[in-house]
């Protein structure tokens, strides 16, 4: 017991020695190689680890090229990669490590060549290592601290043929999602008291279902390589490949306790060993890796609604009640049964008539992991609530899968389900769900009464805009408009003619009037003189502007003359004449002949001036 | 020109005659209303339908017929007739109230997307007038505009001229707006058709064939917009944007 404890301590405290820092390639990538033990016993495993570090380590995509170790070790498989990214003070540091397991096969001291990795076209090499392989049980083995080098020193070399771990597959070419049955068997010619799996096989790219095996496993005798072994199946797996391509299942490592014949060498040995006859040694056994070729599912004949199920299935659908009242729940049970990856089985699409309220299904699975296949059933239970009465039909439910046995796609369907929905007591279904409070209140009310007034009936589809009245209504004003335009043009012409005539005659007429005024230029006919002069002036202007003389207001005249562009002086002179005439006419005062004469002269001058300004 | 005049005179005579003939149906209307009051809804329905079958209509007939169907709990036909009454008289409170009541009994609750303020406004204005009243407004505005222009052309108005001008502009604006609205309404009437589902339940398919994919179902009284027709199938669109095909015997055009 003491010895074991010390051994353990020693193992833990022994530092893992990095031999060199590895080849430097700028600051970007560093590569270094390590082994977990400098000294190993023959037939024991050791781990070779390549570590990449530096800021660009993350961008290395290719796997490293391993050194050739065939001379002294066999490759057992990858024991994984790990990646570590750290940010320290804003600087990213990445390290990536690849581990590989080897088994020592030859005694001696060997050099492990550099591992290489290519990055940006450059090859970067790691450091070299040396390893010492010793006969019999070995020194520092990191992976199994409980091993007792002294005890196993003699046994292991004999064990090589007496203890085997063999792996069997039922087929090496499968379709995606078609299971490969992997079975691990111990072949032994010695007594194995117990065993434990010390390294799980690498099964990337597979969905794994483990078979249940009896414990302890039954044993049988079998001949292999001319030798009789006791065979026990210790592990059985179904692997469902998730995608196509060539795949490798890594090796599995188990550690067995093997009882060997006791060969006492010293008294102490027997003291420390177990009290029974014979002693126990630990032995590591490996299975070989297995290659499996995964074929993609064929394109030909693939149904459009294919959802990836592979296997062999049957399907059944049933409802718990054939007759149901509205708003009463029924259960639709859909059962898929068969062999295949039950856990990953997609659910078939179920078309429920829209008159049903459908809830998400309750899904239960049962998987049988005995015998030589993974089988089971998947049950989907839908709760449906019919909302409207009538015969409702649930259309056949279809399910597609690929059957690897026949290498073809198969479609299975259930029969149509007919459900007779009766009107339930619930009033709400008639009224329609989802009414607001206000609407419910409205629902209790009656419609408004009919119209009793006798209506003006009209032909259907006859609108006022199509009626003759409307058309006449549109045309008649148009006709009137045309008439009005013609009338207006006539009037304009007439007016123009009249204006022209009056304009021409204006001067003549004014002079005639003035002549008459002159004849009245006497003391006793003052009033007549002024009236005649005024008439001559206004008449002249009216003729010139084509206005009627009767309606003219003197104030307007002034504005009109200015509008016509008669100069200020003439206008003032004209207005002065008119004002004087009016004054003399209505407020009689005795004016002299001279004054009258002067007015007469002024009037004559104004008329000739205006005559000149308005042609 | 002569042919147009002949047509005008002829159609005037026909209209006069049809008004006379319509008196017979006025009598039918009175009988139907009496039957309704005596709760003989089936009889009332028969009489109102007779008026319509003979090619006459008025919003009152549709409204009363809708009421009679409602009393017989024939919600689809009630809604159909209320909608027809609405088409003739868009803004009548009685029709809208009864239509609302009938719609409460429709099973499908179709959500309409919210409208923009402007389109809502246009819709309100459009529903304010029937085609006939809008035609009347157009005609009056048109005649007034023409008359005012003629007056301005021929009569010296002096200080009234400005006022007359302003009034003319007002009529011109009314004329333009009402013509536009009338055009929109006539266009809508001729190009947008709505139907009311008359069967208790109908399945709407994704394509015009019986074995097409079922998309959804509609129930009696739902209003659908008809967008296309192929053989005995019509493509429909709901206010919430769903479209599909259904058989022509499932609905009746408003």
Q: Which of B55, B68, B97 sits opposite A448 (nearest CB)?
A: B97
Q: Is residue A256 located within the same domain as residue A321?
A: no
| Least Cα separation, residue B64 to chain A (angstroms) | 5
Domain boundary among A422, A445, A462: A422
Q: How far is CA A37 from CA A3, A48, A265, A469, in A?
A: 21, 9, 29, 113
For testing contact with chain A, the best of B12, B146, B152 (most A CBs within 10 A): B146
> How many whole angstroms separate alpha carbon A606 and alpha carbon B144?
49
Q: Which of A351, A455, A468 sits opposite B60 (nearest CB)?
A: A455
pLDDT of residue A113: 83
Two tokens at A302? 């693939």
> How many whole angstroms separate alpha carbon A97 and alpha carbon A81?
5
Query: Are A453 and B60 inside 8 Å of each other by CB?
Result: yes
Residue A9 predicted with pLDDT over 50: no
| Least Cα separation, residue A351 to chain B (angstroms) | 9
Q: What are the DSSP E strand ranges found in A114-244?
A: 116-119, 122-125, 129-134, 163-169, 173-175, 180-188, 191-199, 206-210, 219-224, 227-241
Provide CB contacts within 8 A for B148, sequence distance 6+.
B164, B167, B168, B171
pLDDT 10s digits, A36-71? 777 787 777 788 888 887 777 777 777 788 888 888
Is the ipTM value over 0.90, yes or no? Answer: no
Check if A455 contacts B (Cβ < 8 Å): yes
Q: How confident is the model at residue A89 (pLDDT cuts 50, 70, 90)?
A: low
Q: Is residue A469 part of a domain?
A: no
Query: Are A353 and B217 inside 8 Å of each other by CB?
Result: yes
- B contacts of A455 (beta carbons < 8 Å): 26, 29, 58-61
> How many whole angstroms separate alpha carbon A333 and alpha carbon A351?
14
Let me know: does A125 contact A116? Beta carbons within 8 Å: yes
DSSP track, A87-130 = EETTEEEEEEEEEEEEEE-S-EEEEEPPPEEEETTEEEE---EE
Q: Is residue A502 part of a domain?
A: yes
Two tokens at A34? 């390590």
> How many whole angstroms separate alpha carbon A199 and alpha carbon B114?
65
Listed residue (A4, A67, A77) closest to A31, CA to CA: A67
pLDDT 10s digits, B161-178? 888 899 999 999 999 999
Element (H, E) at A472: helix A468-519
Q: Is residue A237 located within the same domain as residue A319?
A: no
Q: Which of A354, A468, A473 sits opposite B217 (nearest CB)?
A: A354
Q: Is residue A269 located within the same domain as residue A397?
A: no
Residue A335 predicted with pLDDT over 80: yes
Our count of domains for chain A comes to 4
Q: Is residue A481 part of a domain?
A: no
Q: Is residue A455 part of a domain?
A: no
Let me know: does A361 contact A391? Beta carbons within 8 Å: no
Q: Is residue A249 located within the same domain as residue A358?
A: no
Query: Are B132 and A452 inside 8 Å of each other by CB?
Result: no
CB atoms closer than 10 angstroms to residue B236: 25
- B-contacting residues in A 304-343 (Cβ below 8 Å): none
Q: What CATH number is attached to the domain comprising A22?
A: 2.60.40.10
Domain coordinates in residue numbering, chain B? 2-104, 117-191, 193-253
pLDDT 10s digits, A424-480? 765 444 444 455 556 666 666 778 888 888 888 878 877 888 888 888 888 998 899
Tell me which of 2.30.30.140, 3.40.50.300, 3.30.1300.10, 2.30.30.40 is the CATH number of domain B193-253: 2.30.30.40
The SS3 call for residue A533 is: helix
Mean pLDDT, residues A313-340: 87
Query: Are B147 and A477 inside 8 Å of each other by CB?
Result: yes
* Mean pLDDT estimate for chain B: 85
Query: Are A467 and B15 inside 8 Å of each other by CB?
Result: yes
Q: Which of A442, A457, A491 sits opposite B25 (nearest CB)?
A: A457
Q: Is residue A165 located within the same domain as residue A288?
A: yes
Q: If you search the block for the tokens 């048109």, which residue do you land on?
A: B142
Domain boundary among A422, A452, A471: A422
> How many whole angstroms separate alpha carbon A268 and alpha carbon A254?
30
Provide CB contacts within 8 A for A589, sequence distance 6+.
none
Mean pLDDT, residues B191-211: 86
pLDDT of residue B154: 84
Provide CB contacts within 8 A for A70, sequence distance 6+.
none
Listed residue (A110, A138, A107) closest to A40, CA to CA: A138
Q: Is residue A441 part of a domain?
A: no
Q: Determine what percent of chain A is predicted with pLDDT higher than 70.
A: 82
More confident site: A281 or B47 = B47
Q: Is residue A442 part of a domain?
A: no
Q: Is residue A506 part of a domain?
A: yes
pLDDT of residue A140: 38
> How many whole angstroms separate alpha carbon A251 and alpha carbon A77?
6
Q: Is residue A282 located within the same domain as residue A328?
A: no
* Mean pLDDT estimate for chain A: 77
More confident site: A592 or A9 = A592
- B contacts of A430 (beta carbons < 8 Å): 105
pLDDT 10s digits, A483-495? 999 988 888 888 8
Q: Is residue A111 located within the same domain as residue A160?
A: no
Phi, psi of A539 (to 5 degrees): -60, -45
Tell me which of 1.25.40.10, 3.30.1330.10, 3.90.1260.10, 1.20.1440.230 is the CATH number of domain B2-104: 1.25.40.10
Residue B242 predicted with pLDDT over 80: yes
pLDDT 10s digits, A338-380? 888 888 888 888 888 877 878 788 888 888 887 778 888 999 8
Query: Are A487 and B154 inside 8 Å of each other by CB?
Result: yes
Q: Is residue A323 located within the same domain as residue A288?
A: no
Beta-strand pair A129-134/A39-41: parallel
Count of residues making up chain B = 254
Mean pLDDT, residues A3-21: 42
- B contacts of A477 (beta carbons < 8 Å): 142-143, 146-147
Domain boundary among A403, A422, A441: A422
Query: Are A432 and B8 inside 8 Å of each other by CB?
Result: no
Q: What CATH number is attached to the domain comprising A501?
A: 1.20.120
Let me know: does A81 contact A95? Beta carbons within 8 Å: no
Q: Is residue A329 located within the same domain as residue A413?
A: yes
**pTM of model > 0.80:** no
Q: Containing domain of residue A256, as a range?
A: 155-294
Q: What CATH number is attached to the domain comprising A367?
A: 2.60.40.740
Two tokens at A363? 């899904």
pLDDT 10s digits, A140-175? 333 333 334 333 444 445 567 788 888 888 888 888
Q: How confident is the model at residue B19 (pLDDT cuts 50, 70, 90)?
A: low
Mean pLDDT, residues B141-151: 91
Q: Is residue A134 located within the same domain as residue A190?
A: no
pLDDT of residue B79: 93
Mean pLDDT, residues A102-109: 82
Q: Is residue A110 part of a domain?
A: yes
Q: Is residue A130 located within the same domain as residue A212?
A: no
**Lowest mean pLDDT segment, chosen from A90-94, A508-512, B233-237:** A90-94
Listed residue (A337, A379, A330) closest to A358, CA to CA: A330
Check if A391 contacts B (Cβ < 8 Å): no
Q: Is residue A290 located within the same domain as residue A181?
A: yes
Two tokens at A306? 């294919």
pLDDT 10s digits, A223-269? 888 888 888 888 888 889 888 888 888 888 888 888 776 555 555 55
pLDDT of residue B177: 92
């Amino acid at each position: 017991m003491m010895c074991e404890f010390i051994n353990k301590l020693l193992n833990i405290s022994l530092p893992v020695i990095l031999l060199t820092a590895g080849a430097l390639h700028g600051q970007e990538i560093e590569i270094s190689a390590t082994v977990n033990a400098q000294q190993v016993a023959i037939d024991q495993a050791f781990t070779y680890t390549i570590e990449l570090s530096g800021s660009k380590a993350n961008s290395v995509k290719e796997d490293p090229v391993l050194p050739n170790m065939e001379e002294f070790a066999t490759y057992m498989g990858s024991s994984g990669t790990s990646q570590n990214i750290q940010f320290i003070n804003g600087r990213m540091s990445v390290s990536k490590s690849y581990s590989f397991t080897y088994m020592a096969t030859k005694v001696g001291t060997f050099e492990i060549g550099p591992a290489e990795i290519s990055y940006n076209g450059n090859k970067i090499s790691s450091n070299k290592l040396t390893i010492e392989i010793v006969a019999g049980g070995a020194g520092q083995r990191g992976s199994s601290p409980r091993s007792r080098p002294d005890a196993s020193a003699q046994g292991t070399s004999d064990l090589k043929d007496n203890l085997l771990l063999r792996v069997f597959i039922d087929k090496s070419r499968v379709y995606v999602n078609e299971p490969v049955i992997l079975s691990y068997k111990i072949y032994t010619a010695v007594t194995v008291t117990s065993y434990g799996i010390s390294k799980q096989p690498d099964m990337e790219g597979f969905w794994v279902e483990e078979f249940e095996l009896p414990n302890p496993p039954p044993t049988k005798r079998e001949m292999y390589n001319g030798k009789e072994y006791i065979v026990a199946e210790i592990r059985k797996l179904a692997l469902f490949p998730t995608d196509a391509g060539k795949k490798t299942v890594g090796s599995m490592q188990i550690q067995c306790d093997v009882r060997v014949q006791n060969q006492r060498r010293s008294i102490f040995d027997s003291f420390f060993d177990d009290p029974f006859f014979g002693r126990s040694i630990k032995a590591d056994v490996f299975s070989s890796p297995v290659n499996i070729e995964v074929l993609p599912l064929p394109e030909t004949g693939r149904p459009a609604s294919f959802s990836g199920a592979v296997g062999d299935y049957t399907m059944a659908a049933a409802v718990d009640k054939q007759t149901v009242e509205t708003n009463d729940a029924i259960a639709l049970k859909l059962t898929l049964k068969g062999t295949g990856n039950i856990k990953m089985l997609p659910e078939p699409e179920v078309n429920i008539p829209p008159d049903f309220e459908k809830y998400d299904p309750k899904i239960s699975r049962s998987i049988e992991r005995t015998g030589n296949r993974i089988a089971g059933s998947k049950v989907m239970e839908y709760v449906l609530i019919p909302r409207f009465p009538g015969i409702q039909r649930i259309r056949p439910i279809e399910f597609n899968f690929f059957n690897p046995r026949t290498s073809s796609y198969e479609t299975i369907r259930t029969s149509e389900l007919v459900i007779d929905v009766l009107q339930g007591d619930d009033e709400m279904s008639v009224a329609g769900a989802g009414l607001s409070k206000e609407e419910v209140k409205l629902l209790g009310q009656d419609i408004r009464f009919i119209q009793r007034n006798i209506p003006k009936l009209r032909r259907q589809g006859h609108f006022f805009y199509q009626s003759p009245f409307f058309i006449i209504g549109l045309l008649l004003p148009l006709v009137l408009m045309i008439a009005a335009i013609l009338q207006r043009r006539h009037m304009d012409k007439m007016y123009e003619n009249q204006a022209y005539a009056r304009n021409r005659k204006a001067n003549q007429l004014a002079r005639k009037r003035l002549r008459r005024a002159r004849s009245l230029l006497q003391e006793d006919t003052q009033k007549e003189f002024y009236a005649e002069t005024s008439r001559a002036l206004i008449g002249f202007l009216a003729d010139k502007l084509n206005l009627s003389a009767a309606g003219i207001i003197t104030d307007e005249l002034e504005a009109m003359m200015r509008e016509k562009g008669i100069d200020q002086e003439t206008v003032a002179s004209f207005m002065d004449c008119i004002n004087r005439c009016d004054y003399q006419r209505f407020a009689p005062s005795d004016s002299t002949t001279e004054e009258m004469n002067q007015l007469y002269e002024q009037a004559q001058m104004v008329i000739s001036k205006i005559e000149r300004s308005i042609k | 020109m002569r042919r147009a005049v002949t047509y005008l005179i002829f159609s005037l005579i026909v209209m006069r005659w049809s008004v006379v003939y319509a008196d017979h149906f006025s009598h039918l209307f009175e009988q139907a209303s009496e039957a309704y009051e005596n709760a003989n809804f089936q009889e009332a329905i028969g009489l109102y339908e007779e008026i319509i079958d003979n090619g006459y209509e008025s919003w009152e007939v549709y409204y009363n017929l809708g009421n009679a169907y409602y009393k017989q709990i024939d919600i689809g036909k009630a809604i159909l007739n209320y909608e027809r009454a609405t088409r003739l008289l868009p803004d009548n409170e009685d029709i809208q109230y009864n239509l609302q009541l009938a719609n409460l009994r429709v099973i499908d609750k179709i959500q309409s997307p919210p409208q923009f303020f402007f389109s809502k406004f246009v819709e309100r204005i459009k529903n304010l007038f029937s085609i006939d009243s809008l035609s009347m407004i157009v005609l009056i505005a048109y005649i007034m505009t023409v008359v005012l222009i003629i007056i301005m052309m021929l009569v010296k108005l002096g200080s009234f001229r400005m006022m007359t001008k302003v009034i003319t502009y007002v009529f011109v604006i009314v004329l333009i707006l009402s013509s536009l609205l009338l055009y929109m309404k006539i266009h809508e009437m001729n190009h947008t058709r709505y139907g009311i589902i008359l069967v208790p339940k109908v399945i709407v398919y994704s394509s015009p064939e019986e074995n097409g994919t079922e998309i959804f179902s509609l129930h009696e009284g739902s209003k659908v917009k008809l967008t296309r027709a192929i053989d005995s199938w019509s493509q429909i669109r709901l206010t919430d944007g769903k479209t599909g095909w259904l058989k022509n015997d499932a609905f009746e055009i408003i």
